[in-house]
């Protein structure tokens, strides 16, 4: 399977996961991949993720408890913190928004 088809396959899988929020796959080059009632989703697939991101996430994940969901905040030096990126597992994100 070539890279483009693999990306489309991943987009379709994520669209299915977000069906509870009326997800529809747009997938036009240069536009958003998926649109739901509440979200605009861009999907990126890689053979492997950057090691520093995985390492940082593992660091916080080992402190998971029954009522605490781990998340990792990625901050760019000298930038506004309100623009930081929040990284958490999809299953945890879904748990948060479905209970909202």
Residues 32 and 65 in one domain: no
| The predicted structure's pLDDT at residue 3 | 62
Q: How far apart are CA 93 and CA 100, in angstroms?
A: 11
| The predicted structure's pLDDT at residue 4 | 65
pLDDT mean by block of 10 residues, the chain; 100 residues: 76 96 87 94 94 95 95 96 97 90
Q: How far apart are CA 100 and CA 4, in angstroms?
A: 35
| The predicted structure's pLDDT at residue 46 | 92
Identify the domain containing residue 77 by its residue range. Answer: 48-100
| The predicted structure's pLDDT at residue 22 | 96
The structure's pTM equals 0.84
Query: Torsions phi, psi of 16, nearest 5?
Result: -60, -40
Residues 42 and 83 in one domain: no
Total domains in the chain come to: 2
């Amino acid at each position: 399977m070539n890279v483009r088809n693999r990306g489309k396959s991943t987009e379709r899988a994520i669209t299915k996961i977000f069906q509870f929020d009326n997800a529809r796959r747009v997938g036009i080059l240069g536009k958003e991949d998926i649109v739901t009632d509440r979200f605009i989703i861009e999907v990126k697939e890689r053979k492997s993720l950057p090691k520093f991101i995985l390492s940082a996430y593992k660091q916080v994940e080992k402190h998971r408890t029954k009522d605490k969901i781990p998340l990792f905040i990625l901050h760019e030096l000298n930038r506004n913190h309100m623009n930081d990126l929040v990284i958490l597992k999809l299953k945890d994100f879904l748990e948060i928004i479905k209970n909202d």
